[in-house]
Amino acid sequence: MSFVWRKRWFLMLLPLLLALTVWQIRVESDLNAFFTATDDEDSRLLSGLLQSGELSRRYLLVVEANADKPDDHTNMLANFSAQLVQGLAKLDGVEQVWPANQPPRDWIDAVTTYAPYHARLFSLNPAQDGVTLFDPLRLLAQAEGLKQALLSPQGGFVKTIAKQDPLLLSLNGFKGLQAQFAQQSPISAAGGAIILQSQPPALDSAAHQQLQSAIHATFDALNANAGGGFHLAMAGVPVFSVAAHSEISRDVTLVSVVSSVGVVLVFLLLFRSFIALHWIMMIQAAAFLVGTLATSLAFESVHSLTLALGASLIGICVDYPMHVMIHSAKHRHTPLAAVQLLWPSLFMGGLTTVVGYIALGLTGFPGFEQIAVFALFSIATSLALTRWVLPALLVNVSMQVAHLPGIAGWVAFCGRRRKLLLSVFAAAVVLSLLVLPQLRWMDDMQKLAMDMDFIKQQDQAVRAHFSSIEPGRFVLIQADDFETALQRSEAAERRLQQLKQAGVLSEYHGLFPWLVSQALQAENMQTYQQDITPQFRQAWLDALTAAGLSTEKLGTLLPASSQPLNPETVLASSVRHILSGQLLQGQQGVSFAIWLGDHDAVKLSEGLQGLAGTRYFSQKDQLDHLAAQYRDRSLRMLAIGIGIMALLIWLQQRNLRRMLLTLVPALAAVLFIFATWAVIGEEISFLHVIGLLLAISLCVDYGIFFMDNRGRDSNVTYHAIASSTLTTLASFGALGLGKTPTLPILALSVSLGVTVGFLLCPLLIPKTTK
């Protein structure tokens, strides 16, 4: 095809590509999708909890009177909070909202539905509790207590239950529920602490941003009416999610802009040609669009962090046309001749870079799978366009390349002082190997989390007004079927009761008595039938008479219901909503969570030992485990990546020495960087390793270009490599501006790697003659 038609086709297809990409793309900002792997059971569980777990969707709100306002605002707090509860309940995206010191009304209504099953669910330990519950000597006090309850503000509720369950046995199991609401801070007791259950998944930051704005607007409107005497604080996973989303959006914009501007400035500094810049940027735009489109097709959506890191690929993809342009300008070749000359090196360089990115994608870090696909298609597109379209675009462009000071001097210095420098290099290698064992590995993935100290402090301050239940740590119950899972859950709750008495944990939220296994129901029923003797019945009648209560309406202690309480029936009612945070979805078999209050993790884990299908689960531990898993995989991938690159170079060169020489600057750079980190005590995460893997894949390109030296002029080749290094530094350096810790770590690793690798090339690879 003629150059004219190549150019026409390119110019016609580029807008189509843009339109197709815009039509196809769906940008994802869910951090979970990027950071959490879902390739094993626990990871899927963690991912699901972060995504849509009940507690993850919960907002904790605290309304307080302003310190500078008169006391009457403190007194008005309950009323104000009640109005706020009513206002918030009407908002879109709100599932339910209630004061923290009161159970939601549907919970209370749900409790009354258990009365007919009282004989089947009064205790987790029926044989043991039956001794007390069915002690005839207690009945007088029990009848008096019932009378007082009927006279109390809860009289209507108690009456409904007492008619079906005169001994109020069904309430025995719900004592824990009452205790949940009894532990209150002064603000909570005054009604200032509010719980809002939202509908959108916790990490749907767009929906939550909207909801948070609506919450603030509702509060502001009420507060204005109340004279502005109150302030609102908010906590919960969605608050972090929205803040993180905002930071990531900022990072994506900043990195993309600075990276692009940096590459443009380097290009203009080198070539001083806006026409050439215009064509090169169009090639890069095409490469970026193809990468985005391919990622979008391969995955359901493209993560915004993929786009940010993808933008840094511009600095790599631009290398290929730049090499051609530098050789073309320096040697007065046509772009076509230059690209034909350099093509084997360009192809091999691109291939090794792709290998690096594919290895990155295989580290298990889900976000990097996207980046690997993005890189594969972007690099392939850039290479192809450089080979077949660039000569057509540059056909009438006059090219001159600026001289970079110091390049020739460094090459000459390495040539003159090779022996001395190699001795220094050898000593450095030995020293580096000696200090490598001091490397410190990062074992806390929280250190990779975004720095959100203000929100964390606010979160802690708000949570102090609520129950101490932690959203991230719980007892996980797993079984093949529902009945077994319930039995295991009940066994775990019995153990937790003991641990609570021993002071190992402050509280827990289990499934009993909302859901009760058939086995426990049978056990309860047996105890009930045994203990409700004729003597007991008579004692109850006497107690009722003494308390002035109706023996006619309360005296009949019915036999246990012949129909068991079935989980299907329970979960078809509003109880499903109450337990939705504890019935874990998406697992094989059945999984339940028992939520925990303050606890000693070690003692709790030990305390649960020996219980089948039961274990302590900590989101943080799981994340840390994932971090270690990623680190091991990234190290493995580093080794495999280097191996594959070596193989590819050997296949091209068919010479072991040349292959080793090509690789050695990159490997030495990585060794020195690891050693430096070991000496300065930097904690190494899998991200550091991944950054170095990328650095190797880029440095190997330099080795290939320098070794091939197809222009037969090391200075020109090194000049081209220097240009590549500058664009890589400009693009990856921009990542260092990001607040998401992932980005600066990658920026540091890649920038250090390519700089050291670049400087080592003329030292370690013998200069070839013109």
Partner 1 sequence: MKQWLFLLLLFAPILGFADDSKLTELLAHIRQTGPAQYQYQETRQLELATSPWQGQGIMLTDGNGSLVKLQLQPTRVIMAITNDSMIYWDPEQDQRHTMPIDYAGPAAAQILVFRSILQGRAEELQPNYNFVAEQHDKHWTLRLTPKAEHSDDQTAAIEISGDGDDQQRRIIIRQADGESTEYHIDKALPKQAEAYSIPQLLQEATGE
**Any alpha helices (H) in 334-469, and if so which ranges?**
335-361, 366-388, 390-393, 407-416, 418-435, 453-463
Identify which range of 28-36, 47-55, 144-152, 463-471 contacts partner 1 by CB under 8 A: 144-152
User: Counting contacts by CB under 8 A, is residue 195 touching partner 1?
Assistant: no
| Closer Cβ to partner 1, 537 or 625, answer by number | 537
Residue 447 DSSP class? G
Measured from the CB atom, the residue of 157 and 425 that comes closer to partner 1 is 157
* Residue closer to partner 1, measured from CB, 159 or 440: 159
CB-nearer residue toward partner 1: 196 or 239: 196
Decide: residue 600, CB within 10 A, 0-12 exposed, 13-18 middle, 19+ buried. middle
Residue 336: phi, psi to the nearest 5?
-65, -45
Interacting span for partner 1 (CB under 8 A) from 146-154, 230-238, 402-410, 610-618: 146-154
Distance CA 367, CA 33 (A): 7
If you write DSSP's letter for every residue of 58-73 in order, what string do you get?
Answer: EEEEEEEE-TTS-HHH
State in angstroms the smallest separation of the CB of 204 from partner 1. 29
Q: Give the Cα separation of 68 and 665 in Å (integer).
A: 66
Inter-residue contact 167 to 444 (CB < 8 Å): no
CB-nearer residue toward partner 1: 440 or 553? 553
Cα 534 to the chain's mean position, in Å?
A: 61
Burial class for 66, CB neighbours closer than 10 Å (0-12, 13-18, 19+): middle
Residue 226 in the binding site for partner 1 (CB under 8 A):
no
Residues 500-519 vs partner 1: string with x where CB under 8 A?
A: --------------------
The distance of closest approach from Cβ of residue 141 to partner 1 in the complex, given in angstroms and rounded to an integer, is 11
The CB-of-120 to partner 1 minimum distance in angstroms stands at 23
Residue 457 found at the interface with partner 1 (CB under 8 A) = no
Peptide bond into 513 cis (omega under 30): yes
Within 10 angstroms of residue 750's Cβ, the number of other Cβ atoms is 30
Q: Which window, 449-457, 546-554, 588-596, 715-723, contacts partner 1 (CB under 8 A)?
A: 546-554
Of 311, 485, 549, 673, the one binding partner 1 by CB under 8 A? 549
- C-alpha angle 278-289-739 in degrees, rounded to nearest 5: 95
What is the smallest separation between the CB atom of 91 and partner 1, expressed in angstroms?
Answer: 17
Query: What DSSP designation does 479 have?
Result: E
- Answer for which of 152, 225, 529, 585 binds partner 1 (CB under 8 A) is 152
Task: Write out 713-756 in H/E/C secondary structure.
Answer: CHHHHHHHHHHHHHHHHHHHHHHCCCCCCHHHHHHHHHHHHHHH
Q: Which is nearer to partner 1, 182 or 269 (CB)?
A: 182
Place of tokens 């690096």: 356
Taking the C-alpha atoms of residue 238 and residue 719, their distance in angstroms, rounded to an integer, is 50
Least gap, CB of 222 to partner 1 (angstroms): 13
Is 162 near partner 1 (CB under 8 A)? yes
Q: Which of 139, 133, 144 is nearest to 175 (CA)?
A: 133
Q: For partner 1, how many residues bind (rule: CB under 8 A)?
A: 39
Residue span binding partner 1 (CB under 8 A) among the ranges 148-156, 207-215, 453-461, 494-502: 148-156
In the complex, the smallest distance separating the C-beta of residue 185 from partner 1, rounded to whole angstroms, is: 12
Q: In the complex with partner 1, which residue's Cβ is closer, 142 or 296? A: 142
Residue 193 or 664 having the CB closest to partner 1: 193
Among residues 14, 18, 91, 150, the one that binds partner 1 under rule CB under 8 A: 150
Question: Which position has the token pair 């580096």?
Answer: 432
Which one, 190 or 476, has the nearer CB to partner 1? Answer: 190
Considering only 8, 90, 105, 403, the residue that binds partner 1 (CB under 8 A) is 105
Out of 272, 440, 553, 770, name the contact with partner 1 by CB under 8 A.
553
Q: Any contact of residue 557 with partner 1 (CB under 8 A)?
A: no
For partner 1, which stretch binds (CB under 8 A), given 7-15, 184-192, 594-602, 724-732?
A: 184-192
The residues, any chain, with a CB within 8 Å of residue 430's CB and separated by 6 or more, are none
The answer to whether 151 contacts partner 1 (rule: CB under 8 A) is: yes
Tell me whether residue 156 or residue 681 sits nearer to partner 1 (CB atom).
156
Give the helix/strand (H/E) hosting 475: strand 473-479
Q: Which of 213, 253, 545, 556 binds partner 1 (CB under 8 A)?
A: 545
Instruction: Tell me how far CA of residue 562 lies from CA of 513, 554, 565, 594, in angstroms.
Output: 18, 20, 10, 29
Regarding 186 and contact with partner 1 (CB under 8 A), the answer is: yes
User: Residue 405 interacts with partner 1 (CB under 8 A)?
Assistant: no
548 near partner 1, rule: CB under 8 A: yes
Residue matched to tokens 């209630």: 98
| 61 vs 549 by CB, closer to partner 1 | 549
Contact pick of 116, 145, 415, 741 for partner 1 (by CB under 8 A): 145
**From residue 657, how far is each of 64, 138, 342, 663, 714 by CA, in Å?**
74, 93, 21, 10, 19
For partner 1, the closer CB: 300 or 552: 552
Spatial distance between the Cα atoms of 106 and 579, rounded to a whole number of angstroms:
12
Q: Which of 128, 148, 498, 655 binds partner 1 (CB under 8 A)?
A: 148
* 89 vs 384 by CB, closer to partner 1: 89
Which of 33, 190, 516, 704: binder of partner 1 (CB under 8 A)? 190
- Does residue 147 bind partner 1 (CB under 8 A)? yes
Residue 638 backbone dihedrals phi, psi, to 5 degrees: -60, -45
Nearest alpha carbon to residue 483 among 378, 592, 640, 581: 592
State the minimum distance, in angstroms, from the CB of residue 61 to partner 1. Answer: 14
Q: Which of 48, 126, 173, 191 binds partner 1 (CB under 8 A)?
A: 191
Footprint on residues 64-103 left by partner 1 (CB under 8 A): 75-76, 78-79, 81-83, 85-86, 98-99, 101-102
Q: What count of other Cβ atoms lies within 10 Å of the Cβ of residue 502?
A: 11
| Binder among 199, 526, 551, 587 for partner 1 (CB under 8 A) | 551
Give the span between the Cα atoms of 708 and 415, in whole angstroms: 18
Closest-CA residue to 390 (of 272, 290, 284):
284
Q: How large is the greatest C-alpha to C-alpha distance in the chain, in angstroms?
A: 116
Report the nearest approach of partner 1 to the CB of residue 550 (Å): 5
| Residues within the interface to partner 1 (CB under 8 A) | 75-76, 78-79, 81-83, 85-86, 98-99, 101-102, 105, 145, 147-156, 159, 162-163, 186, 189-191, 545, 548-551, 553-554
